[in-house]
Amino acid sequence: MINVETIRKDFPILSRLVNGKPLVYFDNAATSQTPQQVIDVIVDYYANYNANIHRGVHTLSQEATDLYEASRQKIKAHFNAKHAHEIIFTSGTTHGINLVANGFSSLLKKGDQIMVSALEHHSNIVPWQMLCERTGAILKVIPMNDAGELILSEFDALLSKNTKLVFVNHVSNALGTINPIEYIIEKAHDVKAAVLIDGAQSTPHLVPDVQALDVDFYVTSAHKICGPTGVGMLYGKEEWLKKLPPYQGGGEMIAEVTFEKTTYADLPHKFEAGTPNICGGIAFGAAIDYMNSVGFDNIAANENELLEYGTKKLLEIEGLKIYGTAKDKTSVISFNLEGIHPYDVGTILDKLGIAVRTGHHCAQPIMDFYKIPGTIRASFAFYNTKAEIDALVEGVKKAKMMLS
């Protein structure tokens, strides 16, 4: 087991006050906090290595390139990709999704089908709607049940030889449901459809093995796993990345340019046009190192304990309803107080120094399913404590008292 008090010392922000109260940070599903170890890497980069990469002959450029590529190796090792060039640095999950969606626009034809799940975030819906508009492909939605679990029999029924791409999040951002992606990938492959998994909400809690999953594409963001914002990765199987056309034109992604023709660079540079977020890429690797030093077994153990404790404590409050009660879920509790708007509760909690997310969590279709305007979402990370959950419970009780 980890000593949470020791871990908390790694995160300078956790000792600050908000509205005069000690910060209770329960918005980890939106972004995680940054440990000093990662902050140090960012500072060290700008203090000692800042240079453009992949093109300079000078020492700084070489050192910066080495750090950046070493980070790619770390990411490759962490997710167990076969090759480092299957890891494409992106600006984040949304960028990765758009890159794949754009790539498929030249591979799809009218009547082809793309399947997404009812649990998707807006960023997972809009690019596919745009893709369908461009290509004449049809968007199909895997429905969910009241617990917030995908109905697999419906998924099976929707699959056909016309299905070209299946797109599901590994973990739902609004409800925390862990989706059975192993099953989805296997079934999709039976009809020769490609599968893209959004790992933005899973990678903070578990380590996906992309080869064991046999997944075609997997995307995530660094800032969900203690890294900086503005950087993420797209894993793609080599064969798929070779098949997809480049997403953006620019420097870095070309091999040779004349006015008649441009030859594209090899992977991964084909998809990395322009000067990337070099510092972010390096810090992404440092964040993975940090998470591994804490240990994902320890992370999962602490978060499961918090989830269980938080669920039990919150349900003791009369009139409180939890949305998303899947058997397999991460440390996310989405809830409402009967007859009270989530925005009001979030506002009172903020006054008490407690950071939660309120609203539809960019997942309006899920809110429509439950016929609610939104929820209050408390999402726990490994550095949170039961004492903080107690503070949340007291805060919710106070909000209820003030608002009823």
Partner 1 sequence: MSIEDIQNEIIDEFSMFEDWEERYQYMIDLGKDLPLINDQYKTDSNIIKGCQSKVWVHAEMADDKVAFTADSDAIITKGIIAILIRVFSNQHPKDIINADTDFIDKIGLKEHLSPTRANGLVSMVKQLKMYAIAYQTQLS
Q: Which of the ranges 109-117, 149-157, 303-311, 338-346 carries the binding residues for partner 1, by CB under 8 A?
A: 338-346
132 is catalytic: no
DSSP 65-82: HHHHHHHHHHHHHHHT-S
- 336: contact with partner 1 by CB under 8 A: no
How does DSSP classify residue 46? Answer: I
Q: Does 340 bind partner 1 (CB under 8 A)?
A: yes
Active-site annotation holder among 132, 226, 279, 362: 362
Q: How far is the CB of 146 from partner 1 (least distance, A)?
A: 23
For residues 181 and 345, what is the distance between their CA atoms, to the nearest angstrom? 34
Number of residues that bind partner 1 (CB under 8 A): 16
81 contacts partner 1 (rule: CB under 8 A) = no
22 sits near partner 1 (criterion: CB under 8 A): no
In whole angstroms, what separates CA 24 from the centre of its chain? 22
From residue 358, how far is each of 65, 223, 276, 296, 347 by CA, in Å? 41, 20, 33, 28, 9
Six-digit token pair at 381?
Answer: 């990370």
Q: Give strand pairing partners of 166.
A: 115, 195
Q: Is 341 in the site for partner 1 (CB under 8 A)?
A: yes
DSSP letter at 45?
Answer: I
Which own/partner contact pairs does 61-68 have at CB distance under 8 Å and 24+ positions apart?
A: 64/278, 67/282, 68/276, 68/278, 68/281, 68/282
Please state the separation of Cα 362 from the chain's center in Å: 13
CB nearer to partner 1: pick between 187 and 377: 377
Closer of 135 and 334 to partner 1 (Cβ): 334
**Which lies closer to partner 1 via its Cβ, residue 71 or residue 123?**
123
**355 to 394, contacts with partner 1 by CB under 8 A?**
358-360, 373-374
Which range of residues in 2-10, 148-156, 282-290, 347-355 is near partner 1 by CB under 8 A? 347-355
Residues near partner 1 (CB under 8 A) are 19, 340-341, 343-344, 346-348, 351, 358-360, 373-374, 402-403
Kindly list the catalytic residues: 362
